[in-house]
Structure 1
């Protein structure tokens, strides 16, 4: 069989399993098996496929048919133009989260804190995009997630400008740590009663603690918004990613905590995605 024939069979198998965009996923997995960029597959499509590599590819296709995320199968996910290591211990970085990065890069800051850092994709992207004189800290309750973030920091050669601490939100910080100009977070915002409606790729395979607060989806925001001002410089900013129906509720939480200049920013699809608040200057 040629690789073109193998790829057609794989695409048909994923389509039969009701996997969204089966052709794209089949190409991504084949590129991973062959160690080439997906754009080069057309150049080798007529080549005969070795049986051993076919079996390896078919095993990945079978797992994808069971809705294992592609990033878990390849161990990598692209985010803001960079490749990040991904495991089942961290939330799969998503394009929607790039809206948070875009908003953060419009602000003046040198010290940034990322709460619930997961793979570190937000924090490390900010430090990579603004290299001069910046420093960051990431916290996460999951030590396994922090291990992934540390590997990503090393891969991006940022480990000299970042530190990671295990613990619950801001409680993870050492008492001696200085205040931050910017705090960012993509906390679990899916309500408990929304979990059954998640796609299998998400609900079955991504870490539950990164998805839901086991309540109304606002629990993490209540904790973060209440504690953040004590760790922000005067005029410092808080930026949080939200679910598309949570803009008003999170903005109200910030207002009650004394934040100023509160704004809700949409993602590229026009859905509410990020809430901004600023600690007033005295």
Structure 2
């Protein structure tokens, strides 16, 4: 299968991008396996360039079969040969290849930026259209994946704290009616002494224990759009069951692909742990589709 492939030849057309099987196979080879891909452009249309396949293939070599091109097969043969693994080259050849690669990347940068901005505008029009057809208040309707930071509390934790505070206040109010002030003061002093002893014992135990690596918790964040552009809103919702991610893998893989090109301060987009989680989501999406 694809795992034993050295080079992938994708015969791309408008019909190709409409096929979910072809699209998923292309994205799996390009993004997950990171294989070199050679595009053979067929058909009569050019709409495929504005799709997800077109965005991911901007740096791929292309051979056009749409028009009469007698040298097309020779060109694609040479392109395949150049993308196959080679034996170690000389330092001069390595330098020349690096120069050619840099020039090709610079040539596609402007086209990629224009295509990305077009995709952003289309995405905004779609979400705005949904908002206009709804009678509810304009709450944030985009959700994304991220990590819960150390100094941040999730929505579940805030709810637990609020519930505990209400219960303590109610219990305190009931006790205030008939408690003995002197006995309460003595009890409070005793509790304070015991608490200090417990904290002292905990501090000593923590000093003896070796530091452990903290496991980052995944959460769902809501995104809101207004004059400040897209930004996070509200408290994160901690994910306690992996089934939530599995059921949302199709949506999350696409929204995270767009957010990678944005300036949103999401830890999952800038950390190694985040890259691992995003790769898992993409694999889950492919697996769910195939099986």
TM over 0.5: no
Q: TM-score per shorter chain, which class?
A: under 0.3
Scaled by the length of structure 2, the TM-score of the pair is 0.20
Q: Which has the higher helix share?
A: 2
Q: Which has the higher strand share?
A: 1
Where relative contact order (Cα < 8 A, 6+ residues apart) is larger, the structure is: 2
Q: Which has the larger radius of gyration?
A: 2
Scaled by the length of structure 1, the TM-score of the pair is 0.21
